[in-house]
Amino acid sequence: MKFPGKRKSKHYFPVSQRDPLALPEPEINEAAGAYIVGIDQTLVDIEARVDDAFLARHGLSVGHSMLVDADAADRLNLELMEQASITHQFAGGTVGNTLHNYSVLADDRSMLLGVMSSSISIGSHAYRYLCNTSSRVDLNYLQGADGAMGRCFTLIGDSGERTFAISPGNMNQLKPECVPEDVVAGASALLITAYLLRCTAYEPIMDATLVAIAYAKKYQVPVVLTLGTQAIIADRPEWWQDFIRENVTILAMNEEEACALTGCTEPLAAADAALAWTDLVICTAGPDGLYMAGYADTGVKRETRHPLLDGALPAFNRHEFSRAMRREACEQPERIYSHIKPYMGGPGKIMNTNGAGDGALAAVLHDIAANVYHRQQLPDSTKHRASFLTYSSLAQVCKYANRVSYQVLNQHSPRLTRGLPEREDSLEEAYWER
């Protein structure tokens, strides 16, 4: 496990015990291991440049993800081929992207549950999917199926905005019996997306998702939900509120999805509203950076040393140096919030906004898994005097998440091609002030 955040200037395990990595023979518990498990609709992104008339012709809603049937997908594909407008094809899927990015950042294992073609030929979509996935993502539990893989036509319109047309293929065929209980039980978190519950008719992946959630609850594994796309939430916000209240520990969304869920247009107010149903919230807000909201126990909360910020809530970042906890783990829960503007103001030229939010979530998951790993290695450390969800403070997690988003904006694919540069091992460095 490569540790997030403060890695160079302060040692890996800032505890009162001796640093185990400094011992001549570190007593690292080899049997232990922290990993994230996720369920996805395995998809290949087929990226093409199109004009707005193309989107209108195919009945697509700009900036959103929509399901299309086989005939509509064939028409779309044919037109793209005729225009020779396909520019890239690479592995996609919001959870697949996040697990890949987690594995690249943590240099450690994640597990993907989903469907994969049983027989794969060189150059096929399934082949491209596997080639574009980090070798640290464990694919041994994928369920084999005959037939086409899911395709996500990623259409870049005149404004640069991405519109997704999803041709499901067999992406929804994951059976509940292909969700291994022990894999979920041993995970640091279970990652799911709202897309898994969007199907035109009953599909097995819905039950597979509910089974995985039931296992996660049984073993107190945090359930992390990423909201996917606004329309799914806007269709039935009360249903999603109940679903989150019942099942979700950590909620990730952008400001549009946040508004659909809570009715609040302001991301901090939306994150605050969502704390009524869940324990930790990350809300990305494009050029405004990102917000996090969570809980800390009064006894262990920590004051910020940054200037206090006013927004939808006054001096909302006062306790952003606290580490996040589940609400039920607090004797006296208090709400904590943090905000960060885009890293270095954002890249000079944005290559791609696709997956910037997924990148931020991968960083949050890295911090959570690092906390579990640290607890496995040093259960008596003062770092675990309370039952924290994160290894770092809310402020530090925000910085890290934002830094990863920047990296995604700076490259073409939503999947990181490499980890963060070594010279930034300490996120304390003055880069943030520039």
Ligand X SMILES: O=c1[nH]cnc2c1ncn2[C@@H]1O[C@H](CO)[C@@H](O)[C@H]1O
Q: Is 62 annotated as a binding residue?
A: no
Q: Is 242 annotated as a binding residue?
A: no
How far is residue 124 CA from its own chain's centroid? 27
| Residue number with CB closer to ligand X (66 or 120) | 66
Q: Is 44 annotated as a binding residue?
A: yes
356 binds, options ligand X, ligand ATP, none, Cβ within 5 to 8 A by partner type: ligand ATP
Cβ–Cβ < 8 Å for 59, 158: no
Which residue in 59, 123, 144, 287 binds ligand ATP (CB under 6 A)? 287
Cβ–Cβ < 8 Å for 324, 279: yes
Q: Is 180 annotated as a binding residue?
A: no
DSSP SS3 for 352: coil
Residue 163 interacts with ligand ATP (CB under 6 A): yes or no? no
Q: How far is the CB of 133 from ligand X (least distance, A)?
A: 12
Q: Is 287 annotated as a binding residue?
A: yes
Residue 108 interacts with ligand ATP (CB under 6 A): yes or no? no
Q: Is 96 annotated as a binding residue?
A: yes
Residue 259 interacts with ligand ATP (CB under 6 A): yes or no? no
Residue 254 interacts with ligand ATP (CB under 6 A): yes or no? yes
Which residue in 356, 369, 370, 378 binds ligand ATP (CB under 6 A)? 356
How far is residue 150 CA from its own chain's centroid? 20
Residue 379 identity (one-letter amino acid): P
Q: How many CB atoms lie within 10 A of CB 36?
A: 30
Q: Bridge-partner residues for 113, per DSSP? A: 39
Q: How far is the CB of 434 from ligand ATP (least distance, A)?
A: 14
Q: How many CB atoms lie within 10 A of CB 387?
A: 13
Residues 6+ apart with CB under 8 A from 133: 91, 96, 100, 112, 139, 415
Q: Is 265 annotated as a binding residue?
A: no
DSSP SS3 for 422: helix
Q: Is 289 annotated as a binding residue?
A: yes
Q: How far is the CB of 383 from ligand X (least distance, A)?
A: 33
Residues 6+ apart with CB under 8 A from 404: 101, 105, 359, 360, 362, 363, 416, 420
Q: Is 348 annotated as a binding residue?
A: no
Contact window for ligand ATP (CB under 6 A) among 103-111, 198-206, 278-286, 304-312: 278-286
Q: How far is the CB of 386 from ligand X (least distance, A)?
A: 34
Q: Cβ-closest residue to ligand ATP?
A: 357
Q: How far is the CB of 64 from ligand X (least distance, A)?
A: 9
H-run or E-run covering 271: helix 267-274
Q: How far apart are CA 359 and CA 270, in angstroms?
A: 21
Residue 342 interacts with ligand ATP (CB under 6 A): yes or no? yes
Q: How far apart are CA 388 and CA 408, in angstroms?
A: 28
The vertex-85 CA angle with 193 and 61, nearest 5°, equals: 45
| Residue number with CB closer to ligand X (152 or 233) | 152
Cβ–Cβ < 8 Å for 133, 171: no
Instruction: List contacts with ligand X (CB under 6 A).
Output: 41, 43, 45, 65, 92-94, 97, 152, 164, 166, 195, 354-355, 358, 414
| Residue number with CB closer to ligand X (33 or 63) | 63
Cβ–Cβ < 8 Å for 139, 132: no
Which residue in 355, 367, 389, 413 binds ligand ATP (CB under 6 A)? 355
Residues annotated within the binding site for ATP are 284-289, 357, 402
Binding site for ligand ATP (CB under 6 A): 254, 284-287, 289-290, 342, 346, 350, 353-358, 360, 402, 405, 409
